[in-house]
């Protein structure tokens, strides 16, 4: 048998060692799991084990989920990514029983904390892809949040469309916040500027809006200029935690946040609402929120 070159052998030994360490770290972290059972099937563990025999089982009882590992580099990539998203990504070469709520327990264990830098990375990964791509499926006003459809019993229901439903949603928030011309409004989550433009057109207010997406900021400002409202609307590129510093102690009459809340992270909700409280005027201020909900099994 020909001898393996030393450099190749060293790489293989390093790879195997790294996989072993990552695997043990993952299992050690899972030992504290108190809700349900998770079993891993890893064919690379050795031929003495049956093809469907669990390699490791953590936890006990129900609900139960199974992870079939198809590439042993999976262990390293899960830890290196800092997120259990790797568990559900097909490029990670695994199959996962997604019917069980136990999957969400893994997410809470490995999901990175929503620091300002992490929040910027998350937003960039999602929104800084291509404005043109989003334009292919959004209504002309470029509103990227749930619309407000007419109820089925409404006589105009059959004639409702996405653009009308989005405009209805924007007008709802303008009315709910009781925005008037003398107000300085803060919007947390610019999108592509649809609410800011609509709010100023409808009421004549002054508006400051914040986003973490460079692509959204650029297009929002372009649309605001085209609407002739650049003197009324300011777009800031910042995290909600940076607003007090950038607005230099300014207080706002109204705050509107449409589907930005779910990007905050549950551990930062107290800080999120605390920042808003500090930014609002002490008298007569109103804040309105719209957020995407999830099933109880996931939120638990």
What is the structure's pLDDT at 283? 92
6-110 matches 118-299 in fold: no
In the block, tokens 């800092």 appear at 82
What is the structure's pLDDT at 98? 43
In what helix (H) or strand (E) does residue 7 lie, and over which residues does it extend?
helix 6-30
In what helix (H) or strand (E) does residue 172 lie, and over which residues does it extend?
helix 162-176
In the block, tokens 């930014």 appear at 279
What is the structure's pLDDT at 291? 92
Q: Which tokens sit at 96?
A: 């996962």
Q: Helix %, strand %, coil % for the chain, to 5?
A: 45, 15, 40
What is the spatial distance between Cα 39 and Cα 58, in angstroms, rounded to a whole number? 6
What is the spatial distance between Cα 94 and Cα 83, in angstroms, rounded to a whole number? 15
Do 157 and 151 meet the contact criterion of CB atoms below 8 Å apart?
yes
| Strands across the sheet containing 64-69 | 56-59, 37-41, 64-69, 94-96
The model scores a pTM over 0.85: no
Please write the tens of the pLDDT for every residue from 15-60.
Answer: 888 888 888 877 777 776 667 778 888 776 654 444 445 567 777 7
- Which residues, listed in sequence order, are joined to residue 185 by a DSSP beta bridge? 207, 254
What is the structure's pLDDT at 274? 96
Domain regions of the chain by residue span: 6-110, 118-299
CATH for 6-110 (1.10.3450, 3.30.1050, 3.30.2010, 3.30.450): 3.30.1050
Per-residue pLDDT of the chain (300 residues; tens, 9 = 90+): 455 555 555 767 778 888 888 888 777 777 766 677 788 887 766 544 444 455 677 777 777 788 788 888 888 877 766 544 444 443 433 444 444 454 555 555 545 566 777 776 666 666 656 778 888 888 899 998 999 999 999 999 999 999 999 999 999 999 999 999 999 999 999 999 999 999 999 999 999 999 998 989 999 999 999 999 999 999 999 999 999 999 888 999 999 999 998 888 888 899 999 999 999 999 999 999 999 887 665 555
What is the structure's pLDDT at 44? 67
Q: What angle do CA 287, 238, 214 make, to 5 degrees?
A: 115
Nearest-CA neighbor of 257 among 224, 221, 286, 228?
286
What does residue 280 show for φ and ψ, rounded to 5 degrees?
A: -85, 150
What is the structure's pLDDT at 46? 56
What is the structure's pLDDT at 49? 46
What is the structure's pLDDT at 116? 73
What is the spatial distance between Cα 127 and Cα 10, in angstroms, rounded to a whole number? 41
What is the structure's pLDDT at 94? 40
What is the spatial distance between Cα 220 and Cα 222, in angstroms, rounded to a whole number? 5
What is the structure's pLDDT at 113? 62
Query: Per CATH, which fold does 118-299 belong to?
Result: Rossmann fold (3.40.50)
């Amino acid at each position: 048998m020909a001898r393996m070159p030393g450099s190749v052998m060293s790489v293989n030994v390093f790879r195997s060692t790294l996989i072993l360490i990552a695997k043990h770290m993952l299992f050690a972290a899972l030992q504290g799991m108190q809700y349900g059972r998770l079993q891993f099937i890893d064919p690379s563990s050795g031929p003495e084990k049956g093809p469907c025999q669990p390699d490791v089982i953590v936890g006990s009882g129900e609900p139960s989920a199974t992870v079939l590992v198809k590439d042993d580099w999976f262990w390293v990539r899960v830890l290196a990514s800092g997120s259990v998203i790797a568990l559900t990504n097909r490029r990670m070469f695994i199959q996962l029983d997604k019917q069980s709520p136990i999957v969400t327990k893994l997410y809470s264990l490995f999901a990175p904390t929503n620091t300002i830098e992490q929040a910027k990375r998350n937003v960039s990964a999602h929104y800084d892809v291509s404005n043109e791509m989003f334009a292919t499926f959004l209504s002309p006003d470029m509103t990227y949040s749930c619309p407000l459809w007419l109820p089925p019993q409404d006589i105009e229901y059959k004639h409702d469309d996405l653009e009308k439903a989005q405009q209805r949603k924007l007008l709802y928030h303008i009315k709910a916040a009781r925005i008037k011309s003398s107000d300085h409004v803060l919007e947390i989550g610019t999108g592509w500027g649809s609410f800011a433009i609509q709010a100023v057109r409808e009421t004549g207010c002054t508006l400051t809006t914040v986003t973490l997406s460079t692509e959204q900021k650029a297009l929002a400002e372009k649309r605001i200029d085209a609407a002739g409202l650049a003197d009324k609307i300011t777009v800031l590129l910042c995290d909600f935690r940076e607003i007090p510093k950038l607005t230099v102690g300014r207080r706002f009459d109204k705050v509107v946040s449409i589907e930005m809340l779910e990007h905050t992270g549950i551990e930062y909700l107290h800080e999120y609402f605390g920042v808003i409280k500090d930014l609002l005027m002490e008298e007569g201020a109103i804040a309105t929120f719209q957020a995407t909900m999830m099933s109880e099994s996931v939120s638990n």
